[in-house]
Structure 1
Amino acid sequence: MKIAFFGSSLVSSYWNGAATYYRGLLKALATLGQEITFYEPDAFERQQHRDIPDPDWARVVVYPATDDGWRRALEEAVREADLIAKASGVGVFDEELDLAVAELAHTGLMTVYWDVDAPATLESMTIDTLHHLHRTIPRHDLVLTYGGGDQVVERYRRFGARQCIPVYNAADPQTHHPAPRRNDYTCDLSFLGNRLPDREARVDEFFLAPAQVLPGRKFLLGGAGWDDKPVPANVSVAGHVGSGEHNAFFCSGLATLNINRDSMAKIGFSPPTRIFEAAAAGACIITDAWDGIADFLEPGMEILVARDSRDVVELLEGLRPEQAKRIGEAARRRILDQHTYTQRAQQVMEVLNLAISSREAAE
């Protein structure tokens, strides 16, 4: 099957948290025999901050971030593909692309809306009854989501989706694995995530507040946008951390912190890529509390859970290196056994083959 995928970027993780999800899943689909072309706009300086070259398992088409650019890219995709997947959050001309891809339904071409931020999308659609996705979602053969659980599925169905299937984040063992510690990343607690409006307050609570309470501990804040953020003296700001450095980042601290954005904490559960990457690297993870964590990692044994800043402080004060190592190793075993991108790609192909069969039966 020839799959044309429109997303934010495959080759750059700069202001693009979905990059490793795209890479892991599409690489695994290619391994299963699918022919992948990834279309991404030349926007937000991502091409100047590439962290991988064009991969050998996908053709990458970088189109100008203009009206003419996206139209030409879509025209090419329509000529060559069997299936067109439009991801949420491409970043430029999203509404135009959403509307245009949905219009392809009458051509017989199979289309998928692939939501990599379903909680935020559904919140926007709930607030705005005139949101353009109310018109486009019912026209797609499938809605696939980065996660979300039953609550996201039910809400998408209420908005007219024919089918909504969560395809969760996972790990690629060839990419995500233990790495030697780096002195510049050494700390007691690290956090990696870009500075976003619906994340910052939770970073204040779960990361910066504990740092204030524990002045003798060392904290490391990674991700784009934090350079001018006021932080306690014991917090180092690493800036953008390229995907090739993620393993070292996660493995260099006593523990690493996961903080969900507000929308993800409110609607269903969408464990972010960082949980799977850090676990596959063998890191000890402390996460904020959210429904569904036990479906992926066992609290207390494979991951530590904090309800608020006080819990983070208590967990960090009581955590010993040998315990952190034991938790990290247990998490790595669980992820490699149950949550790899090969398993996710097999799930996607089962879903696509069923959709194709249903189409053929209806014709």
Structure 2
Amino acid sequence: MKLVFFGLTITSSWGNGHGTTYRSLVKALAARGHRVHFVEKDVEWYRNNRDMPEPAFCSVRLYDDWAKENQQLRLLARDADAIVVGSYFPDAIQATRELLEDGHERILFYDIDTPITMARLHGEGRAEYLDPELIPHYAAYLSFTGGPMLREIENRFGSPWAVPFYCSVDADAYRPRQTRPEFACDMSYLGTYAADRQPKLESFLNDAARRLPERAFLVAGPQYPVEIEWPGNVERIIHLSPREHPEFYSSSRFTLNLTRDDMVAAGYSPSVRLFEASACGAAIISDAWPGLEEFLTPGEEVLLPEDADEVVRVLREMPDAERVRMGQRARQRILDQHTSAHRAEQFENVVAQCATRVQAQTASSSRE
């Protein structure tokens, strides 16, 4: 198939989870023989931090101004077998309207931020990248979030088909690696600063670090305010290239997974970091949220402490052999269910079913 994606970014992983998510999926689709074109707005903060300017598995089309370049971009999508419009794509609403005007029947909305999107629709009536009036016109709504929210997308907002389309991991890139001394620590955390995650980072990591001054901790990620007071045994890395993520996860005894408030409230919203760390065999400490057990079994494949006291107890008392076995079980679970190859096959099935639905609707209309 010829597939055209209109997404936030695939060329830069700086300060966003979209880049690695798109790379994982698109690489797997290309490996299955599909031709993928990715359209991305050329914005300064990604232009200055491009760690994959020319992916080997797809063509990238950068543009500056949709109003001036839309004719060429619409021409690129003219003979596409499926078109994907992603959340936070800056011109998603206008692009969708124009693609519908061109007669495309297989336009899918790919929401990598479903709980945030739903919160915007509830509070403000729309998101900057999604007009609720367009939801019924997307052939499928691919949602990072599963569970009850899918029914809301269909019943309240009129989607013909809301699909649980979770993130995935590139199993070739994310696997256990040799320990790197600069990443070696008792517990690590990888994530961009978020105000609603920070209290949990303070409790689970910083408070634990203060109580264990002899232990080493590591936090990697950009945009943390300068006024944050980090304990002396917490090292900071401002940005870590995705190429180094497997070594990062492989080098710490435990790694921490934290979830945004909207994602916790919605449930069934695993982060790509959760899958990537698992694929590297990392022993994961996580906050709890509804539906987590659908992806990793608490106590066997992931630990869910309630506070810093429990984190400290785990770091002090869990035998290394048990920790390693937990990481191995998590790795096998994710490799069995959530690799990019799994997600690419699911994408193919979604597109095929969309085509069947369109044909059935056309046949029904002709009979009437």
TM-score category, normalised to shorter length: over 0.9
Q: Deviations over 1:105-146 (max 9, x none)?
A: 343312111100101111111112355522221221111012
Q: CA deviation at 1:103?
A: 4.4
- Partners of 2:123 and 2:53 in 1: how far apart? 40
Q: CA deviation at 1:101?
A: 0.8
- Partners of 2:339 and 2:218 in 1: how far apart? 28
Q: Are the equivalent residues in 1 in contact too, given 2:40–2:63 (CA < 8 A)?
A: yes
3-state SS, counterpart of residue 310 of structure 1: helix
- Partners of 1:100 and 1:112 in 2: how far apart? 12
Question: Which shifted more, 195-204 or 184-193?
Answer: 195-204
Q: Are the equivalent residues in 1 in contact too, given 2:186–2:253 (CA < 8 A)?
A: yes
Q: Are the equivalent residues in 2 in contact too, given 1:288–1:308 (CA < 8 A)?
A: no
- Partners of 2:223 and 2:333 in 1: how far apart? 33
3-state SS, counterpart of residue 116 of structure 2: helix
Residues 85-100 of structure 1 correspond to what in structure 2 (within 5 A)?
Answer: 85-90=84-89, 94=90, 96-100=91-95
Q: Are the equivalent residues in 2 in contact too, given 1:11–1:51 (CA < 8 A)?
A: yes
Map of 2:117 onto structure 1: 121
Q: Deviations over 1:188-224 (max 9, x none)?
A: 1000000123322332233222222322221100011
3-state SS, counterpart of residue 197 of structure 2: helix
Q: Are the equivalent residues in 2 in contact too, given 1:187–1:219 (CA < 8 A)?
A: yes
The amino acid of 1:104's aligned partner reads L
Map of 1:108 onto structure 2: 103
- Partners of 1:43 and 1:188 in 2: how far apart? 37
- Partners of 1:72 and 1:307 in 2: how far apart? 54
So what's the TM-score if we normalise by structure 1? 0.92
- Partners of 1:358 and 1:130 in 2: how far apart? 27
The amino acid of 1:297's aligned partner reads L
- Partners of 2:68 and 2:321 in 1: how far apart? 54
- Partners of 1:167 and 1:130 in 2: how far apart? 22
3-state SS, counterpart of residue 278 of structure 1: helix
The amino acid of 1:100's aligned partner reads A
Map of 2:224 onto structure 1: 226
Q: Are the equivalent residues in 2 in contact too, given 1:206–1:259 (CA < 8 A)?
A: no
Residues 175-214 of structure 1 correspond to what in structure 2 (within 5 A)?
Answer: 175-214=173-212
Map of 2:343 onto structure 1: 344
- Partners of 1:239 and 1:349 in 2: how far apart? 37
So what's the TM-score if we normalise by structure 2? 0.91
Change over 3 Å in CA distance of 1:134–1:161 after alignment to 2: same
Q: Deviations over 1:261-301 (max 9, x none)?
A: 11111112211111111111111111111111221122112
Q: Are the equivalent residues in 2 in contact too, given 1:86–1:98 (CA < 8 A)?
A: no
- Partners of 2:151 and 2:313 in 1: how far apart? 37
Map of 2:161 onto structure 1: 163
Residues 40-119 of structure 1 correspond to what in structure 2 (within 5 A)?
Answer: 40-64=40-64, 66-68=65-67, 71-72=70-71, 74-90=73-89, 94=90, 96-109=91-104, 110-119=106-115
Question: Which shifted more, 303-312 or 71-80?
Answer: 71-80
Residues 286-325 of structure 1 correspond to what in structure 2 (within 5 A)?
Answer: 286-325=285-324
- Partners of 1:308 and 1:69 in 2: how far apart? 53
Q: Are the equivalent residues in 2 in contact too, given 1:51–1:244 (CA < 8 A)?
A: no
Aligned pairs, how many?
357
Map of 1:244 onto structure 2: 243
- List, as ranges, runs of 4+ consecutive aligned residues in structure 1 with deviation greater than 4 Å: none
Q: Deviations over 1:135-190 (max 9, x none)?
A: 221221111012x2222202211112111101112221111111111111111100
3-state SS, counterpart of residue 286 of structure 1: strand
Q: CA deviation at 1:28?
A: 1.3
Q: Are the equivalent residues in 2 in contact too, given 1:5–1:87 (CA < 8 A)?
A: yes
Q: CA deviation at 1:86?
A: 1.0
Change over 3 Å in CA distance of 1:217–1:344 after alignment to 2: same
- Partners of 1:307 and 1:44 in 2: how far apart? 40
Change over 3 Å in CA distance of 1:322–1:130 after alignment to 2: closer
3-state SS, counterpart of residue 232 of structure 1: coil
- Partners of 1:204 and 1:70 in 2: how far apart? 46
Change over 3 Å in CA distance of 1:44–1:15 after alignment to 2: farther
Q: Deviations over 1:201-256 (max 9, x none)?
A: 33223322222232222110001112623211111111111100000110111100
3-state SS, counterpart of residue 56 of structure 2: coil
3-state SS, counterpart of residue 61 of structure 1: strand
Q: Are the equivalent residues in 2 in contact too, given 1:227–1:239 (CA < 8 A)?
A: no
Map of 2:366 onto structure 1: none
